[in-house]
Amino acid sequence: MRVVIQRVSHASVTINGQCKSAIASGMLILVGIEESDSTEDIEWLCKKIVNLRIFDDEEGVMNKSILDTHGEILVISQFTLHASTKKGNRPSYIKAAKPTHSIPLYEQFCKELAIALGKEIGTGEFGADMQVELLNDGPVTICMDTKNKE
């Protein structure tokens, strides 16, 4: 699994002109799933995400986690995170998992992340045409891939 985590002041996702989810201060997480991903990847990522110290403490040092700040999370599925641009100018998405594999993992990731956070999270809609709006705070953007755990 590959994620892009952005520390945000606020974020929202709109589908067909309707706001599906909106959060205040916290994290916007874009998640891409490939065929080799499993529940082990979900467990590792969820633990890592809620404990990432990317929020400022009283001294302005990134020393607090989202658990410490009681922030919110918005998760958006994004198969384009697995784009390959090695050949030509049109990205290939061959590494991205098919919906039959990725939808259950996406849903489980969201469920496990909500449990790890201790509250509900916002989500987009898998496969939908979504408009994502955010105010990146910092800016702070972290990329993580479960294939590079070590």
Residues with active-site annotation: 78-80
Per-residue pLDDT tens for 25-55?
999 999 999 999 999 999 999 999 999 999 9
3-state secondary structure the chain: CEEEEEEEEEEEEEECCEEEEEECCEEEEEEECECCCCHHHHHHHHHHHHHCCCEECCCCCEEECHHHHCCEEEEEECHHHHCECCCCCCCECCCECCHHHHHHHHHHHHHHHHHHHCCCCEECCCCCCEEEEEEEEEEEEEEEEHHHCC
pTM, 2 dp: 0.95
Domain span at residue 12 reads 2-148
Residue 94 has a pLDDT of 86
Q: How far apart are CA 46 and CA 50, in angstroms?
A: 6
Please name which of 90, 91, 65, 87 lies closest in space to residue 78, comparing C-alpha atoms.
Answer: 91
Please name which of 7, 40, 9 lies closest in space to residue 22, comparing C-alpha atoms.
Answer: 9
Q: CATH code at 40?
A: 3.50.80.10
pLDDT reading at 141 higher than 90: yes
Residue 133 has a pLDDT of 98
Tell me the average pLDDT across 9-33: 98
Per-residue pLDDT tens for 60-95?
999 999 999 999 999 999 999 998 898 889 998 988
Per-residue pLDDT tens for 89-130?
999 898 899 999 999 999 999 999 999 999 999 999 998 999
Quote the number of domains for the chain.
Answer: 1
Residue 1 has a pLDDT of 96
pLDDT tier at 131, thresholds 50, 70, 90: very high
Q: Is the distance from CB of 31 to CB of 3 less than 8 angstroms?
A: yes
Please name which of 140, 7, 138, 3 lies closest in space to residue 72, comparing C-alpha atoms.
Answer: 7
Four-point Cα dihedral 65, 149, 46, 26, nearest 10? 40
pLDDT reading at 150 higher than 80: no
